[in-house]
């Protein structure tokens, strides 16, 4: 059975779907959740606390989904295919959830909570929320967490040497670029091809390619 906290966060997320965060009123969230406004304040302390707890929950859900995408099909799916599944999940989750997209890219629209933008108020990334909520990651920190999960999930089935961590990091950053600038409509999904290419080239060779000016012509 959902807790009062879960129900309140669900109500807050629904409210954010329907209107800009600046227009979301605490009393409306409480009414939608079927609890008193005092219960809402007791749980989160303030509207800023509610916002940070909401962002924290959505990011945690994204990270759980990332782990599940890496496990889909098990080792039989192949390391490149599992890494591509992570990329597909990341793009899909970011397109469906504006809070996940904002934390991944650092691009906070005016309709999102002001407290979650760097430099805005007490709930900025890196600071614990008023109700003790864990800090919200910066984009770099979130990408690092996704990479760490990818390496941990794929290492046992990887026999290509020490380049797995570098390939996962590069792939995750490329995936975030597809969140910001999606592929043209009708184009085939490039993520599986990109994953296969990155995993087939040793990290040192990739660095040499990146440093070669002929590759940028």
Name the token pair of 196: 């296969």
Res. 30 pLDDT band, cuts 50 70 90: very high
pLDDT at residue number 189: 67
Let me know whether 172 and 98 are in one domain. Answer: yes
| 11 in any annotated domain | yes
**Residue 163 to residues 67, 144, 201, 205, Cα–Cα distance (Å):** 20, 16, 8, 10
Task: Please list, in sequence order, all residues whose beta carbon lies within 8 angstroms of the beta carbon of residue 84, skipping any fewer than 6 positions away.
Answer: 189, 191, 192, 194, 195, 196
Let me know whether 201 and 155 are in one domain. Answer: yes
Let me know whether 119 and 197 are in one domain. Answer: yes
Computed over every residue of the chain, the mean pLDDT equals 83
- Read off the pLDDT of residues 90-99 as tens digits, 9 standing for 90 and up: 999 999 999 9
Q: By residue range, what is the domain housing residue 117? A: 54-209
Let me know whether 78 and 149 are in one domain. Answer: yes
Of residues 182 and 24, which shows the higher confidence score? Answer: 24
Asked if residue 156 lies in contact with residue 68, where contact means CB atoms within 8 angstroms, the answer is no
| 214 in any annotated domain | no
**DSSP string for 152-206:** HHHGGG--S-TTHHHHHHHHHHHHHHHHHSPPPTTPPP-HHHHHHHHHHS-HHHH
| 217 in any annotated domain | no
Residue 19's SS3 state is coil
Of residues 23 and 188, which shows the higher confidence score? Answer: 23
Q: Of 7-11, 84-88, 175-179, 212-216, which one has max mean pLDDT? A: 7-11
| 80 in any annotated domain | yes
Let me know whether 95 and 138 are in one domain. Answer: yes
Look at residues 211, 143, 145 and name the one whose alpha carbon lies nearest to residue 171. 143
Let me know whether 25 and 125 are in one domain. Answer: no
Asked if residue 56 lies in contact with residue 133, where contact means CB atoms within 8 angstroms, the answer is yes
CA dihedral 142, 144, 145, 150 (to 10 degrees): 130
């Amino acid at each position: 059975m959902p807790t009062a906290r879960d129900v309140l966060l669900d109500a807050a997320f629904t409210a954010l779907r329907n209107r800009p965060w600046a227009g979301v009123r605490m009393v409306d969230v409480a009414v939608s959740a079927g609890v008193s406004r005092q219960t809402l304040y007791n749980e989160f302390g303030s509207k800023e606390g509610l916002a940070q707890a909401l962002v924290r929950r959505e990011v945690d859900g994204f990270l759980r989904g990332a782990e599940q995408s890496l496990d889909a099909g098990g080792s039989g799916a192949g390391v490149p295919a599992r890494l591509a599944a992570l990329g597909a999940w990341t793009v899909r989750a970011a397109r469906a959830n504006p809070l996940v997209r904002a934390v991944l890219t650092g691009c906070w629209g005016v309709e999102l909570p002001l407290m979650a933008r760097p430099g805005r108020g007490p709930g900025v990334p890196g600071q614990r929320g008023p109700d003790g909520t864990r800090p919200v990651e910066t984009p770099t920190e979130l990408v690092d967490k996704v990479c760490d999960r990818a390496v941990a999930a794929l290492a046992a089935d990887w026999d290509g040497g020490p380049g797995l961590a570098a390939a996962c990091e590069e792939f995750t950053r490329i995936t975030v670029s597809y969140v910001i600038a999606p592929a043209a409509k009708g184009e085939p999904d490039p993520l599986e091809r990109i994953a296969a290419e990155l995993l087939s080239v040793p990290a040192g060779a990739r660095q040499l390619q990146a440093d070669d000016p002929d590759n940028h012509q």
